[in-house]
Amino acid sequence: MPIRTSQKAALFGESVIREMTRLFFARGDKPGVNLAQGFPDFPAPFEMKEAACRAIRDDINQYAVTWGARSLRHAIADKTAHFYGDRPDPEREITVACGATEAMMAALMAVVDPGDEVVVFEPFYENYGPDAILSGALPRFVTLHEPDWSFDLAELTAAFNNKTRAIIINTPNNPTGKVFTREELTQIADLCQKWDVTAITDEIYEHMVYEGPHVRIADLPGMRERTITISGLSKTYSATGWRIG
């Protein structure tokens, strides 16, 4: 007899991204390009690979501190200061997770209670909706409209109420490639401050922008203390299979 699954599990099926990848590889040796997953098309930096090999040779193979190795947290703080001029406290404001996907789930579990609402822009990276549901929240979807994938401010404003606990922002966006402008982020920030909402922002593609600098909502007035910024090594350094920290 098969194991009886939970009602939560019954809500979700196979990952669309993984399904497309599975079907791609099932075609055998036929020429083609897998567009299902965000695989960078360049090798990981030599220095990073050498550092990983050195750590293994030096037998650095045991548990790290639960919230991330101290040296890594300080390196993340230094990198943030270098690019954005703000150095978060590595002892109080930085946590290392097993990838941005786990970080998003952990962030929602930390700030959302059952019955709360989470604003999610759509189309969205496929985990955001399930993440909100698994954390006990009701997702409130706001459409990004073609051709430039912008939101209607009236629609976004209508999605906020006294049950709204968080908004998920993904910039640059997967799957559309949308990069939110400073004006758009300011509009979101104003609503977050009006309704006392936490911005959970997935910026895993932060260094893959083609015009102008990457703008973080955390850097806007009044937003540093109400933003959880998520990023990582996977895309920037072409190491999507690594999990470290």
**Greater pLDDT, 160 or 27:** 160
Q: Tell me, what's the pLDDT at 6?
A: 86
Q: Is the dihedral of CA 3, 138, 151, 146 positive or negative?
A: positive
pTM of structure: 0.92
What would be the CATH architecture of the domain defined by 97-240?
3-Layer(aba) Sandwich (3.40)
DSSP-assigned beta bridge partners for residue 167: 119, 199
The per-residue pLDDT for range 161-213, each reduced to its tens digit, is 999 999 999 999 999 999 999 999 999 999 999 999 999 999 999 999 998 99
Domain range summary for the chain, segments of one domain joined by +: 45-94, 97-240
pLDDT band at residue 47, thresholds of 50, 70 and 90? very high
**Tens of pLDDT along 119-134?**
999 999 999 988 999 9
Q: What is the CA radius of gyration of the chain?
A: 19
Percentage of the chain modeled with pLDDT above 90: 78
